[in-house]
Chains A and B, each alone.
Chain A
Amino acid sequence: MAANLKLPNQGRIFPALVFLLSGILACTELADPEGVQRYRFENPPHFPEPTYTFGNNSVSEKGFKLGKALFFDPRLSRDGSVACANCHIQAHAFADSWLHPFSIGVDDRKGTRNAPPLFNLAFQKEFFWDGGVTHLDFTPITAIESPVEMDEHFGNVVQKLRVHRDYPERFEDAFGIRKITGPYVLHALSQFMVMMVSADSRYDRWVLGDPSALDAEEVEGLTLFRKHCGSCHTEPLFSDLSYRNNGIQADIIDFGREIITEQQEDRGKFKVPSLRNIAVTSPYMHNAAFRTLEEVLDHYSSGVNYHTTLDPALVTKGRPGIPLDLAEKQKIITFLEALTDSSFLKNPLFFQSDEM
């Protein structure tokens, strides 16, 4: 949109603007221009406005790199054995590998929920399968303090960082603080995580105007997807960010959203997950019920469990499920595979660096 804005006499106004801006910046420190480019949060043109509070924590090169160092640092766990990156692996769109349907925390303790992928977090309103965490900044606290994940007190983590050889200086460089405190640790991690934007799959190129990006079968798959799945897995995030019961549990063991809202009407409801990069995030569902997308599609056509909170969109003529024949399922899967964003999965920006 901004690019379409035609200014009269651009040649003259522009230098004036630059001057104006440089004047404003004159009393703040200027970061190196290349870094500013690479480490700036950019909103994909077909995405909604981000929800993240950038006004309190804008991304900088130093903050981002510090967040990355923390993300890969097992010091954040009680016994120094588990880093965020153990369960959130870039090649799997920052989900856990299929070897660990339930992620493994300290002392090899197993969790009860499948680690979700991490991307487009700047656009989400609530976090975790049950949406209990209301701000991205708070998500690491939950991971660090969970007894089945890192089993550490957040206060101890801050203490460990304060006595570390390099961290105090890096925090000072990034945030201008003399003493590391909790919110800056969280801000650094958020700076790393908000940059995980995935918006460059073949589907995205198609949506942005390249008709050759999807072939005919994929386009048919998309049409079927929009009809049967799009009311919940809504484009462009492939989630409407609501909580629903998709009939995955025969007996509801994990109450999901009800744990947070304390309302029985929310029993067994979970946040509608995005389906971007879905081909690389197996296993599927909060309880890791399925290994393959074929199993997922079979679930929707013939495996949906009835429960009073089952979403009405998954009931057809009074019976649970969405009728789909084999060919339709195959086309939907073909389309889902076009949601893989390999430039995100291979983006060196997120590689562990050996700076520390």
Chain B
Amino acid sequence: MKNQFKYHKTLLFLGFTVAFMISCQEDDSPQLEEVGEMIVKFENYVGSQPLQLDDEGSTDYSYTNANGQAFNITRFGYYISHVKLEGPSGEIFIDEMKVSANEAELKGYYRVVQGDEDTYNVHLKNIPAGQYNRIIFTLGVEEDGVIEGAVGGILDRAAGAWFWNWNSGFINILLEGHSPASPRDANTIKLHVGGWKDIPAEGGQSQRFFNNNVEISLPFDATVRVNQTLRPSPHIHMDLMKWIADVNLEMVNDVHSPAAGRALTPRLVEAFYVDHTHQ
């Protein structure tokens, strides 16, 4: 009995100490590893020309696709997430991902919006010092950005997130503009490609839903070095023509669902490339 009592007293004391430590400790563990940063810049092109947006309703058609259809672009952008870097001797960096209602806590999600230059730079932090020769990222928002419920920042619908309310999910890549080839009102083209889950075909049933997230894996033009003082900046170009030059805008001009966007996803892989890197 006496022993037991002692035991409980110790437990009590221990419990208290641990609880105190858990609740009041500031995270100040020393930084052992050398880390650095990288700024990945996204620049959108139409063929060899930097993308120029036109105003909504404009009938100036600056571009022509492979089918000879003239078009312009009034809105363009895409989400980027799950960024990874790989190096020649096994170096690896995985950008932290976190969803939260609190905008300040959202991590690992980026959105490049044409016309808003601040969004062109994806600023990666806490990269272990070393050499890197490949970047891998997801174009779009994957399942982990949808299933946790309401999220803040660039994933907040009230703040302009590209979110489908009737069939929950984010638009991975969005293009809007006009083309005389489109029979829609005001000759609009709206290509909203989204979709984040697959329910595979089984038991004689067809596939339901389409996961249109695309993983893009690009070699850097040269090996880049990251450390405390070197903050390299690879410039990734996205060439819209490589994505949609073949699309017949007379038929494909109003894409708003996972199944409709499916045909538009495979080519996205080829539309991105690292053009050059500022060391």
Q: Which residues of A contact B (CB under 8 A)?
A: 9, 12-13, 15-17, 19-28, 53, 56-57, 132-138, 141-142, 145, 154-155, 157-158, 175, 177, 181-187, 190, 259-263, 265-266
Contacts of B177 on A, CB cut-off 8 Å? none
Known contacts A19-B16, A134-B168, A181-B158: A26-B23 contact under CB 8 Å: yes
Contacts of A260 on B, CB cut-off 8 Å? 167
Contacts of A25 on B, CB cut-off 8 Å? 23
CB distance A135 to B19 under 8 Å?
Answer: no
CB distance B12 to A15 under 8 Å?
Answer: yes
Tier of interface size on chain B? 35 or more
- CA separation between A137 and B138, bound complex, in Å? 25
- CA separation between A181 and B20, bound complex, in Å? 33
Known contacts A134-B147, A155-B159: A20-B23 contact under CB 8 Å: no
Contacts of A24 on B, CB cut-off 8 Å? 19, 22-23
Tell me the B146-178 residues at the A interface (CB within 8 Å): 146-152, 156-160, 163, 165-169
Contacts of A154 on B, CB cut-off 8 Å? 157-158
CB distance A183 to B206 under 8 Å?
Answer: no
Contacts of B257 on A, CB cut-off 8 Å? 262
- CA separation between A26 and B166, bound complex, in Å? 43
Contacts of B259 on A, CB cut-off 8 Å? 262
Interface membership of B89, Cβ < 8 A = no
A-B contact pairs, 29 of them (CB 8 A): A9-B4, A13-B8, A16-B11, A20-B18, A22-B19, A23-B15, A23-B23, A24-B19, A24-B23, A25-B23, A28-B23, A53-B149, A56-B148, A57-B149, A133-B168, A134-B146, A134-B169, A135-B149, A136-B149, A137-B149, A145-B165, A154-B158, A181-B159, A182-B152, A183-B149, A184-B101, A190-B149, A261-B208, A262-B260
Contacts of A27 on B, CB cut-off 8 Å? 23-24
Task: Name the distance in Å between B116's Cβ and chain A's nearest Cβ.
Answer: 17
Contacts of B5 on A, CB cut-off 8 Å? 12
CB distance A20 to B16 under 8 Å?
Answer: yes
Q: Which residues of B contact A (CB under 8 A)?
A: 4-5, 8, 11-12, 15-16, 18-20, 22-24, 99-103, 146-152, 156-160, 163, 165-169, 199, 205-209, 257-260
Task: Name the distance in Å between B119's Cβ and chain A's nearest Cβ.
Answer: 18
CB distance B16 to A57 under 8 Å?
Answer: no
- CA separation between A28 and B22, bound complex, in Å? 12
Known contacts A53-B149, A138-B168: A182-B158 contact under CB 8 Å: yes
CB distance A185 to B208 under 8 Å?
Answer: no
Q: Which residue of the partner chain B has the closest CB to A23?
A: B19
- CA separation between A25 and B163, bound complex, in Å? 37
CB distance A155 to B158 under 8 Å?
Answer: yes
CB distance A187 to B101 under 8 Å?
Answer: yes
Task: Name the distance in Å between B101's Cβ and chain A's nearest Cβ.
Answer: 4
Q: Max chain A CB contacts within 10 Å: which of B166, B206, B257?
A: B166
Contacts of A266 on B, CB cut-off 8 Å? 208
Query: Given known contacts A183-B156, A262-B257, what 10 new A-B pairs fall within 8 Å (CB)?
Result: A12-B4, A13-B8, A19-B12, A23-B20, A24-B19, A56-B149, A134-B147, A181-B156, A262-B209, A262-B259
CB distance B167 to A138 under 8 Å?
Answer: no
- CA separation between A136 and B150, bound complex, in Å? 9
Contacts of B16 on A, CB cut-off 8 Å? 19-20, 23
CB distance A135 to B147 under 8 Å?
Answer: yes
Q: Max chain B CB contacts within 10 Å: which of A132, A134, A145?
A: A134
Partner of B146, one of A17, A135, A261: A135
Task: Name the distance in Å between A10's Cβ and chain B's nearest Cβ.
Answer: 12
Partner of B15, one of A16, A259, A265: A16
Contacts of A138 on B, CB cut-off 8 Å? 149-150, 165, 168
CB distance A185 to B19 under 8 Å?
Answer: no
CB distance A263 to B208 under 8 Å?
Answer: yes
Partner of A186, one of B8, B100, B149, B160: B149
CB distance B159 to A182 under 8 Å?
Answer: yes
Contacts of A259 on B, CB cut-off 8 Å? 167
- CA separation between A138 and B208, bound complex, in Å? 21
Task: Name the distance in Å between B33's Cβ and chain A's nearest Cβ.
Answer: 29
CB distance A26 to B159 under 8 Å?
Answer: no
Known contacts A185-B158, A263-B208: A132-B168 contact under CB 8 Å: yes
Task: Name the distance in Å between B164's Cβ and chain A's nearest Cβ.
Answer: 9
CB distance B206 to A26 under 8 Å?
Answer: no
Q: Which residue of the partner chain B has the closest CB to A177?
A: B102
Known contacts A20-B15, A138-B168, A182-B156: A26-B149 contact under CB 8 Å: no
Q: Max chain A CB contacts within 10 Å: which of B22, B102, B149, B166?
A: B149
- CA separation between A24 and B18, bound complex, in Å? 8
Task: Name the distance in Å between B98's Cβ and chain A's nearest Cβ.
Answer: 11
- CA separation between A190 and B148, bound complex, in Å? 13
Contacts of A182 on B, CB cut-off 8 Å? 150, 152, 156-159
Known contacts A20-B16, A181-B152: A142-B166 contact under CB 8 Å: yes
- CA separation between A154 and B165, bound complex, in Å? 10
